[in-house]
Amino acid sequence: MPEHARRVGGGTAESKGGAHQTGAACDEHVGDQGSLTMEEVVCRENMLIAYQRVVGNRGAPGVDGMTVDALMPMLRERWQDIRDELLGDRYVPAPVRKVEIPKPGGKGIRMLGIPTVLDRLIQQALLQVLQPCFDPTFSEHSFGFRPGRSAHQALEKAREHMAAGHRWVIDMDLEKFFDRVNHDVLMSRLARRIEDKRILRLIRRYLQAGMMEGGLVSPRTQGTPQGGPLSPLLSNVLLDELDKELERRGHRFVRYADDCNVYVRSRRAGERTLTSIERFLRERLRLQVNREKSAVDRPWKRKFLGYTFTIHHQPKLKVAPESVKRFKGCVREMLRRGRGRSLACLLAELRPVLIGWTSYYRKAQVRITFEQLDQWIRRKLRAILWRQWKRPWTRAKNLIRRGLAHDRAWISATNGRGPWWNAGASHMNQAVPTRYLCQLGLVSILDASRRLERSN
């Protein structure tokens, strides 16, 4: 395999394993990043891996309406022309499709820019060549959107800082970071490492590609909207300068994408540091700190990556109350839609949600939250059954069928209370025991978290 093919990272399971080898190879050329060329981006091996990644991710169509299933037939017909345009510095990206989604908790709107499938392919190919050479130079305190790093590692590092006595946190929120990235500042950072002007001009075209909404295209002069494969790397390239400045000052910090927490020993030190960092971001990176959402506070009073901490000198991770509230809202909406369906069908739809949420929050060491959520979900399911039974006669018949005495079943069925009260009463707990719900497919969050933690 040629040298440029070995530099490719990402894509398949095999290429993920090879990403670290690629990064190691590029470490030898950290001072000679000009060796990156457009020829490496468009080589056959790199494009095939990029294609596998884009198809595997599926994703919504862009402004042209093309789906990932239509990508290969189009490439067979047009790839040679597209390749020539890329090599000849003539390729012009299509506008991105504007999509607005509510932020977690319903506070504000997050803007996404969905590129066309072809542009996602080219961005992925760029990412696979650039990331292995940029990533090894990033700070060890940066954890977001990086191979081999995760939010769980960031949380563990934050817990270590607290345990070492840094029990105040500067919780910084960058105001609309992905919408406010200054193109000139970002491109100047990229130009320090990339000499091939074709790559630099292509990236700038992606940054400046218009955004389509309602059939009209608006030009972009700043920002790198979330939605394209390249945006996470570009955000790390820009914010690496913040990381290096914090390291130079000797601060203990953890950054995950645009979420940055700096740990200090006193409130006074935190206020002083926040003011200094705010000035640095404004003057050097042209970014603004959102003072309303930023604060110097105790870590157990703040939320970081969906978790918070206990007050102990050896703090423990726990699920943040806001995360529990958001999860309950999601489950409540799913159960509301499923009131007319059987519990088995409803639980089949709910199962991947429960497993996915538990997989992320399995690191929580305060597990009473999981137990309380299990109890709440079981009660919601019993309330659905009570509603489905509707009439007192039907309720009494079902309670008797499930083992209750005749008199007790009739008293329970005619008590006049609502579904939620009955779902928590002893007659429904006896008639619809936990083992029955588990047989239908209910996942216990508490048990699943323990299994996942043991397996990891």
Query: pLDDT tens digit string along 212-249?
Result: 777 777 777 777 778 889 999 999 999 999 999 999 99
What is the percentage of the chain residues whose pLDDT exceeds 90? 76
Strands 168-173 and 216-218: unpaired
Average pLDDT score over the chain: 88
| Under 8 Å between Cβ of 429 and 388 | no
pLDDT of residue 104: 67
Does residue 13 have a pLDDT over 80? no
pLDDT of residue 353: 95
CA 69-70-74 angle, 5° bins: 140
pLDDT of residue 107: 65
pLDDT of residue 14: 35
Q: Which residue has the higher pLDDT, 294 or 2?
A: 294
Spatial separation of the C-alpha atoms in residues 370 and 372, rounded to whole Å = 5
Of 1-10, 53-62, 353-362, which range is least confident? 1-10
pLDDT of residue 35: 75
Average pLDDT over residues 182-194: 93
Quick one: 188 exposed, middle or buried, by C-beta within 10 A (0-12, 13-18, 19+)? exposed
Of 1-5, 244-248, 271-275, which range is least confident? 1-5
The two structure tokens encoding residue 353:
């949600």
Average pLDDT over residues 89-104: 85
Give the amino acid at 315: P
pLDDT of residue 25: 36
| Under 8 Å between Cβ of 26 and 4 | no
CB-side neighbour CA atoms (13 Å) of 120? 29
Question: Can you tell me which residue has the tokens 């429904």?
Answer: 428
Q: Which residue has the higher pLDDT, 322 or 221?
A: 322
Q: Which residue has the higher pLDDT, 235 or 24?
A: 235
How sure is the predictor about 439, in pLDDT bands with cuts at 50, 70 and 90?
very high
pLDDT of residue 180: 85
Average pLDDT over residues 296-324: 96
pLDDT of residue 12: 34
pLDDT of residue 6: 34
pLDDT of residue 24: 37
> Could you read off the pLDDT of 126-181 as tens digits, one per residue?
999 999 989 999 999 999 999 999 999 999 999 999 999 999 999 999 988 888 89
Does residue 412 have a pLDDT over 80? yes
How far from 105 is each of 196, 209, 328, CA to CA, in Å?
A: 43, 30, 11
